[in-house]
Structure 1
């Protein structure tokens, strides 16, 4: 008899797209329907494994461009490696996992530092091998990419008084040029890899309600859970 395994679902996407909100709504929906689920958020702020990531985000190692894409990626990969052991146990026990950000965040943010298209695609290959082969961290069944255009995200941030005033107000979020490049990189990922599914969160320049976005996310997740 084949051992039943849980599904691994990632909520990722551009800055200001409501990843934490959609993760919460999805987990609540799954729990309400009696579907076994755990959730995790990356980076794991406050944990020892995340220490170098926090220093990087605070600018202690230099600007985002000064810290190379591969060097920064390794910092994040170590944090995910630390979490991977418990995650694997949960998945093997049949528990589903919903992650707020994952490897796709490395591909989106760090890949945006690389302007040459061929070089960037080679980086994607290197990063995926680093995480899933060298570190053997679990591979998601689906990466849901929430897309809010950068101009909209910046305006929303201004409307709510600026980016979140904690460690997450980082050298990425405070750099509009980086945000625009990362947006394009995320869109490229949805074109290159079948497991990256795009969810548009803005229609006719209007941000959709969190409930309507959740319904779009749920349609994707239902298919994964039933596969």
Structure 2
């Protein structure tokens, strides 16, 4: 079976990591080889810079933010391509996250589109947008980790990020197949919806 590429997007506290783990368990249970990615990749040099930025230790203008987040993803493209030849890839955030967050910060969307033309990013088979309001996401992250980084704590900013995600989804940014999931619903309901969509991909 040809490897598939699944991306989970959404603001902080939307349940991306939980759904990535659920999807991995579902697919490995069917005997498939799974490779997982998560962005930012805090083990990378670019991820380390992002960590410093998110925790207020350094400041980056919006252009540098965009390039740093994007480079953190570009570095993995060759490995990701190999992994897709070997099995399935699941990613917690992707370049679509960079565009949503940094354009919400003020990076011009048209420049982001031009950037995408220069770098041929691997295209996912499906992008799940886990939609949750910032207040709910903030409460979840606070319960999970206590202290919040600058993005997790910025309710107004996260509302703008959600708006950017809707713009990207409506225009079919990167791919046409975006599926919006109401991530504020009961975990079992969200999991059931994801399972149904993944089963459809397997049948295809």
Q: Say yes or no: TM over 0.5.
A: yes
Deviations 1:192-213, CA, capped at 9 Å, x for gaps: 21232211123xxxx312x321
Structure 2 counterpart of 1:140, from 124, 144, 151: 124
Matches within 5 A, 1:34-183: 34-62=31-59, 67-68=61-62, 70-93=63-86, 95-114=87-106, 119-120=108-109, 122-129=110-117, 133-134=118-119, 136-158=120-142, 160=143, 164=145, 169-183=148-162
Taking the aligned partners of 2:2 and 2:65, their CA distance within structure 1 comes to: 31
1:15 aligns with 2:9: no
**What residue in structure 1 maps to residue 180 of structure 2?**
198
Please state how far the C-alpha of 1:147 moved relative to its aligned partner. Answer: 0.5
Shift of 1:124: 4.2
Distance in 2 between residues matched to 1:171 and 1:142, nearest whole Å: 29
Counterparts of 1:175 and 1:223 in 2: how far apart (Å)? 36
Aligned-pair RMSD on alpha carbons?
Answer: 2.3
Please report the TM-score for the alignment, with normalisation by the length of structure 1: 0.78
Residue by residue, what CA displacement relative to the aligned partner does 1:44-90 show, whole Å, maximum 9, x if unpaired?
1122342222222223332xxx621x321210121112222221111
The reply on whether 1:220 has 2:197 as its aligned counterpart is yes
Counterpart-to-counterpart distance in 1, 2:140 and 2:88 = 32
Report Cα offsets for 1:118-169 as digits up to 9, x if no partner. Answer: x53x14413433xxx42x44221111110111222234345x2xx6357xx4
Q: What residue ranges of structure 1 are gaps of 5+ in the alignment?
A: none
Report the equivalent of 1:25. 22
Q: Secondary structure at the match of 1:199?
A: strand
Q: What is the Cα deviation at residue 185 of structure 1?
A: 1.4
Q: Which runs of 5+ in 2 are unaligned?
A: none
Secondary structure of the 1:112 match is helix
Size of the aligned set, in residue pairs, is 201
